[in-house]
Amino acid sequence: MLLKILKSNSTYSFLLVPLFAVILWIKSFMQPLSYPFYPGEDMMLLYQPVNALLGKNPVAGHIVSLIFIIVLSFLVLRLKLQYTFFRERTVLPAFLFIIITSGMHELHGIHPVYFAALFFILTIDRIFNSYEKEIIHANAFESGILLSIGSLFYFNLVFFFPFLWIGFIILKPKVNWREFILTTLGFIFPWLGAAAYYGVTNQISELQSTIQASFQSHGFFLKDNLSMQVYMGYLALLILMASGLILSQYDGKKISTRKYFKTFFWIFLFAVVLMFAVPAASQEIIMLMAVPLTYLISNYLIFVKRPIFGEIFLFILIAGVIFLQFI
């Protein structure tokens, strides 16, 4: 019953998305807390004004974060509608994105990753938009700029730069050298502007300190956190089952759909490596990881042979997210 409601494509389903987000977040508004940043995490150039405005106001930070979650969920849904990852018309991806990301209650406070996720989704759109295009110079340049701007909010997004090249190679096997150069130039330009600003304002040392802080150990978020370990373990189980189903469907998928899911796999892989390899990367990486996982798990819940299993798995996921808010 729950799955049937969430995967509906009626008008009320679209209206239910923001209400659903508010319900899952309501506990955090009872006791709003700011995100516990490590030194330098909230000091990236484009995030500094946001931090100055919202950093000392947890309630306002929570409101902005909630708005971001709702907007991002609709952008995730827009990608699905535009590129048709699966044929069924459904609002389920929007709901799943909200569910997956709401499990990290500390992230209900404002965080740079919200802004980074916005530019990351726009970057994915530019890459996917290149499919079957003869000339993709604009797509290449724009994807580099968008990812770079996102990294000026949240530094760890720079590690996704190789994904740009991989994504275009998957979508356009005959990518020429111009696309690689344009992607690189697009990524470099915003950082050159940032470096110039820091230089003119004599803050180069602050930029260096901020970047250095990203490579220092700040503790793994799963360590000594049993509830989060269980939550991530359950997500891993869903990922395994959903991956098995998508592999069994692979030959029957359209060529474009295969390429899109290959690209999503690389996003997921980059996020996992980043989570374990970069000391400063923490639970906020799940915000980026949730983009490919939303489509993967949606595909599983829609096409699972026994719908009752989908209902059960979705209920457990939602119940787990709600439980995490109250412990």
Helices (H), the chain: 2-6, 11-30, 48-54, 58-83, 92-102, 112-128, 137-151, 161-171, 177-200, 204-213, 226-249, 255-277, 285-303, 307-325
Look-up: residue for tokens 């330098």? 40
> Which of 26-40, 45-59, 128-142 has the least mean pLDDT?
26-40
Q: Quick: pLDDT tens for 151-185.
A: 999 999 999 999 999 999 999 877 788 889 999 99
Q: CA angle 171-182-258, nearest 5°? A: 10
**pLDDT of 1 over the 80 cut:** no
Domain count within the chain: 1
Q: What is the pLDDT of residue 181?
A: 94
Q: How far apart are CA 179 and CA 282, in angstroms?
A: 32
- Domain of 95 in residue numbering reads as 2-325
* 271 and 164 Cβ atoms separated by less than 8 Å: no
- Which residues does 251 contact at the CB level (< 8 Å), separation at least 6? none
The Cα 19–Cα 95 span in angstroms is 10
d(CA 7, CA 86): 13
Question: DSSP letters of 28-47?
Answer: HHHS-----PPTTTT-STTT
Residues 57-85 pLDDT 10s: 999 999 999 999 999 999 999 999 999 88
Choose between 6 and 239: higher pLDDT.
239
